[in-house]
Amino acid sequence: MYDEKNLIYIMTMLECTEKVWIYSGKYTTASDFIWADEQQPLNGVISLFIAIGEESKKIDKNLKKDILTQMDWMSVAGIRDKISHDYRGIDEAILWNTIKKELVVLKNALVEMVDLINPSKEILNGFLESPYYRHLGYLR
């Protein structure tokens, strides 16, 4: 029903989501995260959010409409624009809330999309065998 080309965008967003949690996981506060290690974890997460926002713009609009999980796709794409154009204007509390609470909603929506696409085992395994998508074994 949905074109499997959407998988590349969805899988990339899922992997980015997992890496955001890996990069931020050892910190307990927004400030600790923001200022850790010369801001290396922050800069990694910012790059991942840019990728998430960019890839979200490429997913079929009908697929976005047909998922049950409520997602504000404009906000997903908008975070990319905000970060890309106003790096110093990032609100650490909003970023931390997004990491700790909002990303799980995005992940659930993306997993639901994979289910709706219902890719062949061959295609799905092709993604999951790639080292790039090594954190997505839960899709098997």
Q: Which residues are catalytic?
A: 80, 85
CB-based contacts of 10, cutoff 8 Å, min separation 6: 55, 59, 110, 113, 114, 117
Other residues' Cβ atoms within 10 Å of the Cβ of residue 44: 16
- Six token digits for residue 64: 């976005």
User: What are the Cα distances from residue 103, in Å, to 98, 113, 123, 130?
Assistant: 6, 15, 25, 23
- Distance separating alpha carbons of residues 48 and 82, to the nearest angstrom: 13
∠ CA(116), CA(72), CA(56), 5° rounding?
60
Q: How many CA atoms lie within 13 A of 134 on its CB side?
A: 3
Report whether 92 contacts 31 (CB < 8 A): yes
